[in-house]
Structure 1
Amino acid sequence: MNNRLKARDLGIQIGSLSVGKHNQITDVPGVQVGHVTLSRELEDQEVIQTGVTAVLPHEGHLFYKKVPAACYVLNGFGKTAGLVQVDELGNIEAPIMLTNTFGVGAVMDGTLDYMLEQTPEVGDTTGTINLVVGECNDSYLNSIRRRAVKPEHAKLAIENASSSFDEGAVGAGAGMVCFQYKGGIGSSSRKVEEWHVGVLVNSNFGRREEFRYANYNSAGVDQDIPDGSIMITIATDAPLDSRQLKRLSKRASVGLGRIGSHIHHGSGDIIIAFSNSNQVDHFSEDQVKTFTSIQDSHPVMNTLFQAVAEATEEAVLNSLTSAHTTLGRKGRKVEALPYELLKNH
């Protein structure tokens, strides 16, 4: 589907750490990603350019086998659902879902339908379930008021999840704009000793003059493109608890700053991190549970921090180099990043 290139295909290498086999979040064993992309023209210059992306932390049953997790809000101009419980209990028990701002409710409904079908105990013999849905505002290109995202699209995105996925103007990234070029879904990974760190972003922020990888060119740019957002998902198989994952998530801000983000007033910049190394049994009756985790003071923690910073920066760049020129509502067009504008790095 996508014949655009990733940054490394263009000779751009970010950082000094080794990259995983596919340079995607799915280099973390067990992680899967699925998309549903909605793209069609309507009447009266209205256009649907939106979708859903699902990130599955492992291949098993996520409610029965929860993963340690954390979230960090760089700027809270966002409508993400489920973060309160993630912050309180330190785990994730459902797929991490991404969509547009007005699609959060529909995606919650569809994800709940999927999880209830898989988990007859929920809401009956056991408690309820916490769903995590992140969003970015794609209303510059997408006729967001038409609310094209439906519950069935969330279910299909989960069912589509695999270890191989497209980047760019796909899934939740179909209508996103980054540095006033076409943005969307981007991913990258790093190897740290025997472990992996993977990052997936939905990029929808920034202005041309802030982008540090391209020569500034504002010709033909609509300066009314609003402040956007970025959703960042960090995955690792390194044994980390929720407190350590919170520390890890904060380092994504380093990658954002390096590529040029100033974290605008109107930008929802939200990071969700998880480790699938230690899984938490929902039905365990053990009074005490023992887990293995990396010691905070060990030098490998610094390398994990570095991995997050590098992979975040590269994931944003990949979202730009992978995305294709996209037509949207009101005759708007957002150009793909021209490769010839990229500086030497």
Structure 2
Amino acid sequence: MNSLTDVPSVRVGHVTLVRDDAESSESSEPSVRTGVTVVVPAPGSVFRDKPAAGLEVVNGFGKATGLSQIAELGVLETPLALTNTLGVGAAFEGLARHALDGHPEIGTSTGTVNPAVFECNDGWLNDIRGLHVRPHHIVEALAAASGGPVPEGAVGAGTGMVSFGWKAGIGSSSRLVDAGDGTRFTLGVLVLANFGLAEDLTVLGVPVGRTLTPQQAREQAEFARGAGSCVVLVATDAPADARQLRRIARRTTVGLARTGGIVQHGSGEYALAWSTTQRVPHSPSGPVRRATALAEDGPLLDLFFRAAADATEEAVLGALLAALPTTGVRGHHAPALPADDLVRLVDPVRLGRPGRSPHTP
């Protein structure tokens, strides 16, 4: 399916919130353009049998929760939630309630739980002050999570997101990694894309943003500034350990850079990678735990690095090309990236036609 859910047992669920009313809002022209996206990272209880994970904080201008424990211990213990910046608290509560409902030992016979929530600022299109994301939306998204094709664009947490001046949101892609002995692993990526300056957009090496610039980016400095954040989630069924997973997560920045991302001061970029098969029990059976890891004295890890970079690049482009134009709060509008114009700019370069250069779209 060319999506995160190609990794066996990984599931994704969305709740999309689109309304035009005055409920819970201080805005004179309220528009709700937001939502939540959840990822169930592995089969079974991820609290009792924790997936190994590696975190890369590319630029820490963000309000995510649970990251310091992931960085310290190298494991996940809840599903992952994506939402808008001011919805983080509600998403945290939703994940906590879901964990408590399924694990009576939390807070009684064992410790508490570490909900992992990531965010981007959708305030250009969404009435972000209205705090429209509530804990029950996380529970609903988890109930709807499935392993089928991942809807992309303006859906779930991506409903109000903008990248490179164009409507964006959720994007996903995947790659197969051949280990060389008949074994093949899957690596999948999901992005929440809300970053980038309009003039920097690059597609397949062609700097199309120099030609394709949204009218809003020409007229409104706030729209053009581009700082907003990007979250990259990477799953694999390979038995990588936490250190290797962090190295894989770090290579997603190559994919972001290929699309024109420069990691601006006010843009929070985070990448998280995990293994569905490298699991750490909450209650170990003894003082020593045996574990496997990918070999690093050959080409295999480089193949995972390439897969992470390629799938991230494609996921960002997928988010842009799948998203429909959206008008939101205060009449702000985010247009759809014009695919036909994009093809006309990229095709001559890709086909090597004379008179065109990758540096001159």
Which residue of 1 is the match for residue 310 of structure 2? 310
Which residue of 1 is the match for residue 29 of structure 2? 45
Deviation of the 1:283 alpha carbon: 2.1
Which residue of 2 is the match for residue 175 of structure 1? 160
Deviations 1:32-89 (A, max 9, x none): 0000000011243210000000011112111011000011111111011001000000
- Say if 2:152 and 2:171, in contact at 8 Å, map to a contact too: yes
Q: Is residue 212 of structure 2 the alignment partner of residue 217 of structure 1?
A: yes
CA–CA separation in structure 1 for the residues paired with 2:99 and 2:341: 45
Deviation of the 1:284 alpha carbon: 2.4
Which residue of 2 is the match for residue 195 of structure 1? 185
Q: Is residue 209 of structure 2 the alignment partner of residue 230 of structure 1?
A: no
Deviation of the 1:184 alpha carbon: 0.3
CA–CA separation in structure 2 for the residues paired with 1:219 and 1:247: 36
- Say if 1:32 and 1:59, in contact at 8 Å, map to a contact too: no
| Structure index of larger Rg | 2
Which residue of 2 is the match for residue 324 of structure 1? 324
- Say if 2:187 and 2:307, in contact at 8 Å, map to a contact too: yes
CA–CA separation in structure 1 for the residues paired with 2:72 and 2:128: 32
Is the deviation greater in 331-340 or in 219-228? 219-228
Q: How many residues align?
A: 324
Amino acid at match of 1:197: L
Q: Unaligned 5+ residue runs, structure 2?
A: 23-27, 179-183, 351-361
- Say if 1:255 and 1:309, in contact at 8 Å, map to a contact too: yes
Q: Is residue 106 of structure 2 the alignment partner of residue 122 of structure 1?
A: yes
Deviations 1:130-176 (A, max 9, x none): 11000000000000000000000011111111012311100000000
- Say if 2:166 and 2:214, in contact at 8 Å, map to a contact too: no
Identify which of 55, 69, 73 aligns with 1:85.
69
Classify the secondary structure of the residue corresponding to 2:36: strand
TM-score, normalised relative to structure 2: 0.88
Classify the secondary structure of the residue corresponding to 1:276: strand
CA–CA separation in structure 1 for the residues paired with 2:335 and 2:297: 46
Deviation of the 1:295 alpha carbon: 1.3
Deviations 1:231-270 (A, max 9, x none): 0101001110000011111100100111100111110000
Deviation of the 1:219 alpha carbon: 4.8
Deviation of the 1:291 alpha carbon: 1.3
CA–CA separation in structure 1 for the residues paired with 2:89 and 2:111: 21
Which residue of 2 is the match for residue 18 of structure 1? none
Q: Unaligned 5+ residue runs, structure 1?
A: 1-21
- Say if 1:181 and 1:334, in contact at 8 Å, map to a contact too: yes
Amino acid at match of 1:188: S
Which residue of 1 is the match for residue 293 of structure 2? 293
Amino acid at match of 2:270: I
Which residue of 1 is the match for residue 198 of structure 2? 208
- Say if 1:32 and 1:55, in contact at 8 Å, map to a contact too: yes
Amino acid at match of 2:91: V
Alignment of 1:254-269 (within 5 A): 254-269=254-269
Q: Is residue 22 of structure 2 the alignment partner of residue 65 of structure 1?
A: no
Which residue of 1 is the match for residue 6 of structure 2? 27
Is the deviation greater in 161-170 or in 207-216? 207-216
TM-score, normalised relative to structure 1: 0.92
Q: Is residue 136 of structure 2 the alignment partner of residue 157 of structure 1?
A: no
Which residue of 1 is the match for residue 96 of structure 2? 112
